[in-house]
Amino acid sequence: QSVLTQPPSASGTPGQSVTISCSGSASNIGSNIVNWYQQFPGTAPKLLIKNDDQRPPGVPERFSASKTGTSASLAISGLQSEDEADYYCAAWDYRLNGDVFGTGTKVTVL
């Protein structure tokens, strides 16, 4: 059972902006960094955002993220058809002494 809660779906038309929330608690998001992963069907996840808000090399600038308290969010601006994928937040949880993933959000480009 995931301890990080995300909306199951989000959608937008090309060019629009989409924001995905990730709600946690003091033992995870509230005290540790948040990372975001992108996963296309049938493929391995890809690191999209690390250390709350940093884009690894090669990740387009239209992807951004932030964190406030025990919640985090991922924003996609200028939505493109190739952004249609599943997105997961993740953080270390000191009570569980392990990583936890969000429930995942499927982004659809209309």
Partner 1 sequence: EVQLVESGGGLVQPGGSLRLSCAASGFTFRIYAMTWVRQAPGKGLEWVSAISGTGFTTYYADSVKGRFTISRDNSNNTVYLEMNSLRAGDTALYFCARDRNPSDHWGQGILVTVSS
- List b or e across 12-25, with b for residues whose CB sees 16 or more CB atoms inside 10 angstroms: beeeeebebebbbb
Residue choice 50, 66, 70, 77 for contact with partner 1 (CB under 8 A): 50
Span from 9-17, 59-67, 69-77, 90-98 in contact with partner 1 (CB under 8 A): 90-98
Distance CA 63, CA 45 (A): 16
Span from 12-20, 32-40, 58-66, 69-77 in contact with partner 1 (CB under 8 A): 32-40
Both structure tokens of 67:
């964190």
Contact between 80 and partner 1 by CB under 8 A: the answer reads: no
Residue choice 72, 73, 88, 107 for contact with partner 1 (CB under 8 A): 88
Q: Cβ of residue 110: shortest distance to partner 1, in angstroms?
A: 23
Contact between 91 and partner 1 by CB under 8 A: the answer reads: yes
How far from chain centre, in Å, is Cα 110? 20
Distance CA 104, CA 60 (A): 21
